Amino acid sequence: MGRPVSILEIGSWEGRSLLWWLDNVATHSRATVTSIDPQRWGAATYRKMFRHVSEHPRAQQITLIRGLSRHELPRLPEQSLDLIYVVGSHEGRDVLLDACLSFHLLTSGGILLLDDYKWPGDPDHPLDGLPGPAIDAFAVIFGSQLEELRRGYQIAFRRR
């Protein structure tokens, strides 16, 4: 808080967590929050969903990127982000890719926070792998460069 941090979120939906970051962490006037989402909804729904984002008094500190994380993350500068929150696709292979690509975008000391670590899945909508095993694989592969900060429904690592 109170520092010109750069935050990235994968998965905007209606922008609730985006605004939470802005109001509670990205409080400095030069702090930024970027959110990536394919926004697979129509323009009218988009305007309705994002009215509270566009009308926020510090809306100029927000960047919304329309696209899939696997396409958009490689376009961002390496080691440019202080915190990345992964709350996009629940598909294990997407989560693994999001974690690996995000790692390279973090500054040294930057934090990677991933949602749904303990999500048990939905038997009515089976996926190719769940977030938990994908994140475990990421933690093994990048282990020496990570410090685990928290493990619960969400899991957080600091880049060493």
Using CB under 6 A as the criterion, which residues of the chain lie in contact with ligand SAM when the complex forms? 10-17, 36-38, 40, 68-69, 87-89, 94
* Smallest separation (angstroms) from ligand SAM to the CB of 15: 6
User: 18 or 146, CB closer to ligand SAM?
Assistant: 18
Long-range Cβ pairs for the range 69-75 (8 Å, 24+): 69/10, 69/36, 69/94, 69/97, 69/98, 69/101, 70/94, 70/97, 70/98, 70/101, 72/36, 73/10, 73/36, 73/98, 73/101, 73/102, 73/105, 74/101
User: 91 or 141, CB closer to ligand SAM?
Assistant: 91
Residue nearest to ligand SAM (CB): 11
User: 144 or 152, CB closer to ligand SAM?
Assistant: 152
User: 13 or 46, CB closer to ligand SAM?
Assistant: 13
Helices then strands, counting H and E runs in the chain, come out as 6, 7
For residue 144, the number of C-alpha atoms closer than 13 Å in the C-beta half-sphere is 0
* Smallest separation (angstroms) from ligand SAM to the CB of 84: 12
Evaluate whether 112 touches 154 at the Cβ level (below 8 Å): no
* Smallest separation (angstroms) from ligand SAM to the CB of 35: 7
* Smallest separation (angstroms) from ligand SAM to the CB of 42: 13
* Smallest separation (angstroms) from ligand SAM to the CB of 14: 5
User: 22 or 146, CB closer to ligand SAM?
Assistant: 22
Whose tokens are 């440019």? That residue is 80
Among 10, 4, 2, CA closest to 82: 4
